[in-house]
């Protein structure tokens, strides 16, 4: 009988299915001491997801990937190069390579047109290839802690570690969601800063986690527009300073239909890619590749627009009102709402354009959204000068 300790020590590295095996569609081997990516996996015709985390893997040979590979996880190894045969992975959607020793990517990888997510942080990349910014579906990109990523922002070095803050220096105020509250951090008797306070606790035995979704407030078109405008302001602010979020999707957006406001969270995959023009090995916020990084995230924003429009449409179909409280909506308001929906749909279409270079930057996205709002000066994040 196979045991876990032998598996972890690499004792079953030769116990693979016979060629052309109908192996299960997903395998994951963490901390199993595989030094070389198993060639036998190429014969597993049904295999779609492969994971080798923290194996100390040093080599991935040519023609070792299964033909239907969609998800590849090689996080935390010692891989220095990828095989050119990865370019034949026509179905590859997510590729996680964080924590290796990669100095470059094979040009053949430009053929991975289905690639949506690419994690490259903590490698040895001195430059990102320009073909990366031609991949039509790439929406989530991170490459922090590489030579090509900027170690500073606005000329200031990022602080090392996190400061320890006494609970007595925090003033908890109104809740933001089920686990997070707005508060004040009293840094001195004369100065306090607005902060978000998140409480962590172990789940009680026998008690399921709470569902944070609140469907009491139907998402209307005006609320959707307001939230998207605020979100676009935030992203324009970040990218103007050479920072990318890296994981922009609805899971990382705290939204309140009642307040018509949204907060961006989930910065674990964020990258500081440069600031100024041309700084950081061609990845400055104003450089060609810097614009490519921004337009990758614009695609993610376009997906968020589509999601929000779908949610607003579903709320309207369920009797949420579609944007007005009165049952008898006058013709002018109806036309205005339809114009906003059409404008958001058009903007979303531009953001998800297959031609990456044809997508708008976030400064233009903000301009379009504010035009749909019909007024300025009431956003909670300052305007960003277009580049």
What domains sit in the chain, N to C, each tagged with a CATH number? 26-124 (3.80.10.10), 167-198 (no CATH), 221-319+329-375 (1.10.510.10)
Chain segment 76-130, per-residue pLDDT in tens: 999 999 999 999 999 999 999 999 999 999 999 999 999 999 999 999 999 999 9
Chain segment 206-222, per-residue pLDDT in tens: 333 334 444 446 788 88
What is residue 275's predicted lDDT score, i.e. its pLDDT?
52
Backbone angles phi, psi at 252, to 5 degrees: -110, 25
What is residue 11's predicted lDDT score, i.e. its pLDDT?
57
Mean pLDDT of 28-36: 93
Nearest to residue 246, comparing CAs of 293, 282, 202?
A: 293
Q: Which of 113-117, 239-243, 253-257, 341-345 has the lowest mean pLDDT?
A: 253-257
User: Exposure pattern of 132-164 as b/e (b: 16+ CB <10 Å)?
Assistant: bbebebbbbbbbbbbebbbeebeeeeeeeeeee
* Orientation of helix 331-351 relative to helix 288-317, angle to 10°: 140
- Record the pTM: 0.78
Say how far apart CA 62 and CA 312 lie, in whole Å: 48
Instruction: Considering only residues 76 and 184, tell me which one the structure prediction assigns the higher pLDDT.
Output: 76
Check whether 131 has a pLDDT greater than 70. Answer: yes
What is residue 3's predicted lDDT score, i.e. its pLDDT?
55
Say how far apart CA 218 and CA 318 lie, in whole Å: 9
Instruction: Considering only residues 275 and 58, tell me which one the structure prediction assigns the higher pLDDT.
Output: 58
Residues in the chain: 387
Residue 309 pLDDT level (bands cut at 50, 70, 90): very high
Residue 62 pLDDT level (bands cut at 50, 70, 90): very high
Half-sphere exposure (Cβ direction) of 263: Cα atoms closer than 13 Å: 12
Backbone angles phi, psi at 359, to 5 degrees: -75, 150
């Amino acid at each position: 009988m196979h045991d876990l300790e032998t598996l972890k020590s690499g004792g079953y590295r030769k116990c693979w299915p016979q060629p052309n095996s109908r192996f299960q569609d997903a395998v994951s081997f963490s901390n199993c001491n595989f030094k070389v990516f198993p060639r036998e996996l190429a014969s597993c015709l049904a295999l779609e997801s492969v994971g080798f985390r923290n194996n100390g893997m040093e080599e991935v040979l040519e023609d070792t990937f299964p033909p239907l590979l969609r998800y590849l996880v090689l996080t935390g190894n010692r891989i220095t190069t990828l095989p050119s045969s990865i370019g034949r992975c026509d179905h590859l959607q997510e590729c996680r390579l964080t924590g290796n020793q990669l100095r470059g990517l094979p040009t053949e990888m430009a053929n991975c047109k289905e690639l949506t997510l690419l994690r490259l942080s903590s490698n040895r990349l001195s430059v990102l290839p320009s073909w990366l910014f031609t991949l039509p579906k790439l929406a989530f990109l991170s490459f922090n802690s590489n030579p090509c990523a900027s170690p500073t922002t606005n000329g200031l070095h990022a602080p090392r570690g996190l400061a320890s803050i006494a609970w007595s220096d925090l003033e908890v105020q109104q809740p933001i969601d089920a686990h997070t509250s707005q508060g004040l951090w009293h840094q001195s008797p004369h100065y306090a800063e607005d902060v978000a306070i998140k409480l962590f606790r172990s789940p009680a035995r026998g008690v399921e986690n709470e569902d944070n979704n609140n469907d009491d407030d139907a998402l209307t078109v005006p609320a959707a527009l307001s939230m998207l405008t605020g979100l676009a302001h935030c992203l324009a602010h970040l990218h103007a300073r050479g920072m990318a979020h890296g994981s922009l999707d609805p899971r990382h957006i705290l939204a309140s239909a009642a307040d018509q406001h949204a907060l961006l969270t989930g910065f674990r995959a964020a990258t500081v890619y440069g600031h100024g023009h041309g700084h950081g090995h061609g990845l400055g916020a104003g450089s060609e590749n810097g614009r490519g990084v921004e337009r990758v995230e614009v695609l993610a924003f376009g997906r968020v627009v589509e999601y929000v429009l779908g949610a607003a449409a579903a709320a309207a179909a369920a009797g949420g009102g579609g944007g007005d409280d009165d049952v008898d909506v006058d013709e002018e308001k109806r036309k205005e709402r339809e114009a906003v929906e059409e404008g958001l749909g058009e903007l979303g279409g531009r953001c998800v354009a297959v031609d990456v270079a044809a997508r708008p930057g976030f400064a233009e996205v903000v301009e379009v959204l504010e035009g749909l709002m019909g007024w300025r000066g009431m956003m909670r994040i300052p305007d960003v000068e277009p580049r």
